[in-house]
Amino acid sequence: MAGLMSGTAPIAQASMVDAVAPDARGDAMAQVTVVNTVGLMAGPAIGGVLGHYDFRLPLAVALVLCAFNAVMLARSRFGEETRRRAFHFDWRQPFLLFARLKDRPQVVPALASFFLFQLGFLIYYTFILVVMQRDHGFSTAQIGLFSVAMGIGFMLGSALCYAPVAKWLKDERRIAIFGEATCGGLLVLTALPVGAAGQVGLAVLICIANVFSYVSLLSAMSGAVDETERGWVMGLSSASVALCVFIAGLLTSLLATLPAAVFLGAGGILVLLAIAPALRIGPIVAPIAVPARR
């Protein structure tokens, strides 16, 4: 059910992009990342507290929040200026989502880079938790705190670090390459014996660098199509992430034969390989806006 309902995420991302001027697209995507990070950090903590009193209480609160969100969406004005098409259910749609790429080659470099980048990072995310438990003896509570540290990295990258990097590099392609080079290099370091404290520090830095590539690649993909197809291209990105999660999960079956550090290094190499397709990303529609300092 969670997978079936996850299709709302790309629509929300596309709506955010449509609601701002083209030169503010990167900043809008950074705001989406901030909101996602806050939810990912606050949700488990709130759910854990509520579940302590009653196992059904987190579900009830989630239902209330979903109802509130539905009311807010009904009152929104996204998409009212464009003509709507009639909805037709088609079981082929998940496959047609990718088939349409052959007619839109300008999207392929950014999407290919995004896929490799996400696959490398999600392999790291899957196996670093194994490393922290097996090699450093982290308890379940400590693993939770480690995830919070990663969330802090995402927050810092979105709220504080992305704007100055965008101002410095001024181009989505260069921002993506910078993020992938930094993130990939740091991921390779996690395969070395750096200790528990070193892994925590690297996790924060990796998540900061992750934001640079994540935001700029999504922005590059949305900028490669017109506004009527941004929901489609965001759906492609979500489908790519789902596939990466699936592949990373399958790789855990190899832990019996290979040490986890091998997968950490492989994740870093994949992120570095994502630079190759990123080099072929075409020029952006407009420069990225940077919030003014007051």
CATH code: domain of residue 182:
1.20.1250.20
Tens-place pLDDT, residues 44-86: 667 767 777 887 888 898 889 888 888 887 777 665 555 555 5
Q: Is residue 87 part of a domain?
A: no
pLDDT at residue 209 above 90? yes
Q: Is residue 285 part of a domain?
A: no
Find out whether 150 and 160 touch, Cβ atoms under 8 Å.
no
Q: Is residue 89 part of a domain?
A: no
DSSP assignments along 115-140, one per residue: HHHHHHHHHHHHHHHHHHHHTT---H
Residue 20 domain boundaries: 2-79+105-278
Q: Is residue 267 part of a domain?
A: yes
Q: Is residue 260 part of a domain?
A: yes
Count of domains forming the chain = 1
Whole-number pLDDT of residue 116:
96
Percent of the chain with pLDDT over 70: 74
Give me the chain's average pLDDT, please.
80
Q: Is residue 164 part of a domain?
A: yes
Q: What value does the mean pLDDT take over residues 165-175?
A: 91
Find out whether 30 and 211 touch, Cβ atoms under 8 Å.
yes
Q: Is residue 23 part of a domain?
A: yes
What is the torsional sign of CA 197, 161, 19, 283? negative
Q: Give the type of residue at 166.
A: A
Rounded to two decimals, the pTM is 0.75
φ, ψ dihedrals at 147, nearest 5°: -65, -35
Q: Is residue 283 part of a domain?
A: no
Find out whether 172 and 216 touch, Cβ atoms under 8 Å.
yes
Whole-number pLDDT of residue 289:
41
**285 pLDDT tier (thresholds 50, 70, 90):** very low
